[in-house]
Amino acid sequence: MKAYVFTVGLTFCLVTGLSVAQSEPAATVVEKPTTLTTSTTSATQPDMSDLFNKVNSVAEELQLNLSDLEKNIQESRNSIEKGAQILDEMLVSVRKVHQGMAEESEIWQELSALLDLWEQRRNAALQKSESNPAFLPIAKAWEDKLKTAKGLQRQISTERANSVALMRSIEADRDIVLSYYELGQADKAIESLQKVSTNLANLNNNIQNIVKVAGSIDRQQPIPQ
């Protein structure tokens, strides 16, 4: 009788153990995903050619807005609405210049990234020159490129400040100019508009100089790595 109980108990344990084993999910083999390592340096590296195109785009739009400005000013002689339209268009032109070169703009950020990259390359060349003097001219060339780019950065910063001053001037003088139209003193209104036009022309000339400097740097653009 005791042997029978033992046999039954053993059988129950074997059956129970088999049932549990069958009910547990099979272990899943997780394969480690294959990592594809590709160089993204060339994709993320700041590009002087791209920067030049952006600066040139800002300059071209300003140049286009100024093309018929004097003609439009003269045509506003007998129309306060035309005078107001010219003031608004000049203000929009200056705002676009400012936005194109603001600290959060793509132009400013890309130029800053280029300066950081070129400074790293200059420093690397200087470090290599400690054991190989042949790297000294290379370090000097990077230093010259940095100086030119920093000069470009200062020019952009200056014109950004000038554009802010011009925007404030247009906004402050708008009611005065329109008051001259209402008085029938169109000559004084046009004189005021021409002063703004002259300031815009000066801004345009300075932007064109920025384009020239950017172009000179672009012609010596390093080969992407």
Residue 54 has pLDDT above 80, yes or no: yes
The residue that leads in pLDDT, 24 or 80, is 80
Report how many domains make up the chain.
1
Give the confidence band of 69 by pLDDT, cuts at 50, 70, 90.
very high
Is the pLDDT score of 110 beyond 70? yes
What's the average model confidence in pLDDT over 78-95?
94
Banded model confidence at residue 139, pLDDT cuts 50, 70, 90: very high
Residue 91 forms part of a structural domain:
yes
Phi then psi for residue 24, to 5 deg, are -75, 135
Query: Is the per-residue pLDDT at 5 higher than 50?
Result: no
Mean pLDDT value across residues 193-205: 94
More confident position, 11 or 72? 72
Q: How many whole angstroms separate alpha carbon 143 and alpha carbon 155? A: 18
| Residue 178 domain boundaries | 46-105+158-218
CATH of the domain at 70: 1.20.120
Structure-derived torsion over alpha carbons of residues 163, 166, 164, 108, reported in degrees to the nearest 10: 0
Residue 89, C-beta contacts closer than 8 angstroms, at least 6 positions apart: 65
Note whether residue 188 is domain-resident.
yes
Domain annotation covers residue 23 = no
* pLDDT confidence of residue 13: 38
Q: Looking at beta carbons, which pairs linking 11-18 to residues 24 or more positions away fall under 8 Å? A: none
Identify the band that residue 218 occupies on the pLDDT scale cut at 50, 70 and 90: confident
Is the residue at 53 inside a domain? yes
Least confident of 58-67, 113-122, 142-151, 214-223: 214-223
- The pLDDT value recorded for residue 37 is 35
Q: Does residue 36 lie within any of the structural domains?
A: no
Residue 4: inside a domain? no
CA atoms within 13 A on the CB side of 99: 9
Is residue 18 a part of any domain in this protein? no
What is the rounded average pLDDT of the residues 141-146? 93
Q: What is the mean pLDDT of residues 180-195?
A: 94
Instruction: Provide the mean pLDDT of the chain.
Output: 82
140 part of a folded domain: no
Q: How far apart are CA 30 and CA 218, in angstroms?
A: 50
Residue 28 is predicted with a pLDDT of 40
pTM: 0.74
**Closest alpha carbon to 200 in 88, 81, 73, 91:** 91
As a whole number, mean pLDDT of residues 161-176 equals: 95
Looking at residue 191, its pLDDT comes to 94
Task: Give the burial string for 84-113 (b: 16+ CB within 10 Å, else e).
Answer: eebbeebbebbeebbebbbeebebbebbee
Structure tokens given for 81 = 């609405």
Q: Got the DSSP string for 154-172?
A: HHHHHHHHHHHHHHHHHHH
Yes or no: say if 116 and 146 are a contact pair by the CB < 8 Å rule.
Answer: no
Give the type of residue at 202: N
